[in-house]
Amino acid sequence: MNRPATIEDVARVAGVSRQTVSNVLNSPGIVRDQTRERVQDAITRLSYSPHASARRLRTRRSSTLGIHLDPYAGGISGVVLDRFVHALTEHAGERGLRVTLYAARSPEEEIRRMADLRDGGDVDAVVITGTFHGDPRSQWLTEHGVPFVAFGRPWGDDDVGDPAHLWVDVDGAAGTAHATRHALATAGPRVAFLGWPAGSGTGDDRERGWREALGDAAAAMPRLISPESVADARAVVARALEETPFDALVCASDSLALGAHLAATVAGRPRLPIIGFDNTPVAEALGFSSVEQMPEQVASGALDLLLAGGRVITPREVEPHLAHVLVEPRLVVR
Model confidence at 193: pLDDT above 70 = yes
Of the candidates 104, 115, 106, the residue with the CA atom closest to the CA atom of residue 6: 115
Mean pLDDT of 156-172: 82
* Claim to verify: residue 109 and residue 155 sit in the same structural domain: yes
CA-CA distance, 151 to 293, in Å (whole number)? 12
Highest mean pLDDT pick, 11-25, 108-122, 146-160, 301-315: 108-122
Beta bridge partner(s), residue 148: 126
CB 97 within 8 Å of CB 65? yes
Residue 289 has phi, psi (to 5 degrees) of -70, 155
* Strand-pair category, 223-225 with 191-195: parallel
CATH number at residue 28: 1.10.260
Instruction: Please check whether residue 333 lies inside any domain of the structure.
Output: no
* Claim to verify: residue 12 and residue 93 sit in the same structural domain: no
At position 101, the amino acid (one-letter code) is L
pLDDT band at 224 (very low <50, low <70, confident <90, very high): very high
Tell me: the pLDDT tens digits for 245-262?
Answer: 899 999 999 999 999 999
CB 258 within 8 Å of CB 282? yes
Sequence-ordered strand ranges (E) for 196-279:
223-225, 248-251, 274-277
Model confidence at 283: pLDDT above 80 = yes
* Claim to verify: residue 248 and residue 181 sit in the same structural domain: yes
* Claim to verify: residue 195 and residue 137 sit in the same structural domain: no
Instruction: Please check whether residue 128 lies inside any domain of the structure.
Output: yes
Tell me: the pLDDT tens digits for 54-104?
Answer: 444 344 456 889 998 876 555 566 778 888 999 999 988 887 888 999 989
Instruction: Please check whether residue 84 lies inside any domain of the structure.
Output: yes
At position 212, the amino acid (one-letter code) is E
Instruction: Please check whether residue 55 lies inside any domain of the structure.
Output: no
Q: How far is CA 27 from CA 19, 23, 34, 197, in A?
A: 11, 5, 15, 46
Pairwise pLDDT comparison (321 vs 189), residue with the higher score: 189
For the chain, the average pLDDT equals 86
Of the candidates 243, 250, 254, the residue with the CA atom closest to the CA atom of residue 275: 250
* Claim to verify: residue 18 and residue 84 sit in the same structural domain: no
Of the candidates 304, 305, 283, 303, the residue with the CA atom closest to the CA atom of residue 293: 283
Instruction: Please check whether residue 56 lies inside any domain of the structure.
Output: no
Q: Please compute, for residue 211, the number of CA atoms within 13 A of its CA located in the half-sphere on the CB side.
A: 9
* Claim to verify: residue 314 and residue 268 sit in the same structural domain: no
Helical (H) or strand (E) element with 38: helix 33-46
How are the residues of the chain apportioned to helix, strand and coil, as percentages rounded to the nearest 5?
A: 50, 15, 35
Q: Judging by beta carbons within 10 Å of its beta carbon (0-12, 13-18, 19+), is residue 52 exposed, middle or buried?
A: exposed
Sequence-ordered strand ranges (E) for the chain:
64-69, 98-103, 125-129, 148-151, 166-170, 191-195, 223-225, 248-251, 274-277, 289-292, 324-327, 330-332
Instruction: Please check whether residue 34 lies inside any domain of the structure.
Output: yes
Of the candidates 162, 71, 97, 107, the residue with the CA atom closest to the CA atom of residue 302: 97
CB atoms within 10 A of CB 121: 21
* Claim to verify: residue 117 and residue 255 sit in the same structural domain: no
Mean pLDDT of 137-143: 91
Number of separate domains in the chain: 3
Instruction: Please check whether residue 1 lies inside any domain of the structure.
Output: no
CA-CA distance, 216 to 196, in Å (whole number)? 22
Instruction: Please check whether residue 58 lies inside any domain of the structure.
Output: no
CA-CA distance, 211 to 208, in Å (whole number)? 5
CATH number at residue 105: 3.40.50.2300
* Claim to verify: residue 30 and residue 91 sit in the same structural domain: no
Beta bridge partner(s), residue 66: 100, 126
Range of the domain at 118: 64-170+295-328
* Claim to verify: residue 185 and residue 285 sit in the same structural domain: yes
Return the pLDDT at 153.
86
Return the pLDDT at 74.
53
* Claim to verify: residue 189 and residue 266 sit in the same structural domain: yes
- CA 246, 252, 258, 262 torsion: positive or negative? negative
At position 127, the amino acid (one-letter code) is V
* Claim to verify: residue 144 and residue 237 sit in the same structural domain: no
Q: Which residues make Cβ contacts (< 8 Å) with residue 220, sequence separation at least 6?
A: none
* Claim to verify: residue 14 and residue 158 sit in the same structural domain: no
